[in-house]
Amino acid sequence: MKDILLGINVDHIATLRQARGTSYPDPAHAASLAEHAGADGITIHLREDRRHIQDRDVYVMAKTIQTRMNLEIAVTDEMIDIALDVKPAYVCLVPEKREELTTEGGLDVVGNLDKIKAAVAKLIDGGIKVSLFIDADKAQLDAAKACNAPYVEIHTGAYADAQTDVEMSKELEHIRQGVKYAASLGLIVNAGHGLHYHNVKPIAAMEDIYELNIGHAIVARAAIDGLDKAVRDMKRLMIEARA
């Protein structure tokens, strides 16, 4: 079986920085550590409201990322211009609502076919590989194909949010059928959103998935795993100050 790739989303390193307006922690630093640990790519979402990743991060990481940048953006002229200027390896077009806590559902490609097709064409002309972040629905997958997007990223949020085993199995089957259908259309299939250490395996087992993009759960685990050393380092400094 072919290896599955892991793209690390470092948005929430930036969330922590933005919470205090400090210069740390730097998502570019986190991206470099993630690459050192084996990440196959780095995902960042430049939201229109700039709640986490900033323009500066995109430009810095365009220079420092050694694997490949997957830049998630809304389908707006401003974002497409930034992408064409930065020229990341990949752009993933995502839906965006200012008031949402996180991305809710996939892009409505069916309802915005002309707009998305034009955006895909512009980005491809700019030498960028384009992916569409969509739900595992046949109609959306057909529309993604009609837009000439070579990649899709299947939104796994409903699976991740499922409250019961029955609901989870239903969402998993929906994703499984969608992934198969996307592959049958010749699309390269990524997946992500809300994946964590307890729900990733059934998704990672799907042979037609090329790459998973995971962020929040990995950043959360890193914070917990790193806490012991962080406390010891601070205490040592304080004790040294009185030595």
Ligand X SMILES: CC(=O)[C@@H](O)[C@H](O)COP(=O)(O)O
Ligand Y SMILES: NCC(=O)COP(=O)(O)O
Active site residues: 45, 72, 193
Question: Of the listed pieces 23-31, 124-132, 173-181, 215-223, which binds ligand Y according to CB under 6 A?
Answer: 215-223
- Distance between CA atoms of 44 and 70, rounded to whole angstroms? 6
Query: Is residue 195 near ligand Y by the rule CB under 6 A?
Result: yes
20 is known to lie in a ligand binding site: yes
Pick what 141 binds: ligand X, ligand Y, none; C-beta below 5 to 8 Å, kind-dependent.
none
Peptide bond just before 25 cis, omega within 30 deg: yes
Q: How far is the CB of 102 from ligand X (least distance, A)?
A: 3
220 to 239: interface string for ligand X, x by CB under 6 A: --------------------
Angle at 68 between CA 62 and CA 69, to 5 degrees: 55
Question: Of the listed pieces 20-28, 181-189, 210-218, 228-236, which binds ligand Y according to CB under 6 A?
Answer: 210-218
3-state secondary structure of 130: strand
Query: Is residue 215 near ligand Y by the rule CB under 6 A?
Result: yes
The residue from 9, 70, 140, 190 that contacts ligand X (CB under 6 A) is: 9
- 71: which DSSP letter? E
9 is known to lie in a ligand binding site: yes
Spatial neighbors of 5 by CB under 8 A, at least 6 apart, are 40, 41, 210, 211, 212
- Distance between CA atoms of 27 and 52, rounded to whole angstroms? 10
**Binding footprint of ligand Y on the chain (CB under 6 A):** 9, 43, 153, 192-195, 213-217
